[in-house]
Amino acid sequence: MLLVLDLFGAHKTEEVLDTFSANDIVVSMIPGGCTSLVQPLDVSINRPFKDILRVSRLTFR
């Protein structure tokens, strides 16, 4: 299993990384400042949703 995480400190503790390893979870860290560009939920769900909200807000003004 692949788990994509940002660089939040709690994601990088030895205990957390050992738990991932013990459960055959491969971790890929997103470089700082790139979350909005490559984090799957930000790209596929959050950004389109926010775009719809912006258009709706402008339409109903």
Query: Where do the structural domains in the chain lie, given as residue ranges?
Result: 2-60
So what's the pLDDT on residue 19?
97
pTM of the entire predicted model? 0.60
Distance separating alpha carbons of residues 36 and 16, to the nearest angstrom = 24
pLDDT in tens, 18-31: 999 999 999 999 88
Query: Is it the case that residue 55 has pLDDT exceeding 80?
Result: yes
| CB proximity list for 43: less than 8 A, separation 6 or greater | 36, 37
Distance separating alpha carbons of residues 20 and 39, to the nearest angstrom = 19
Asked if 27 and 17 count as a contact pair (C-beta separation under 8 A), the reply is yes
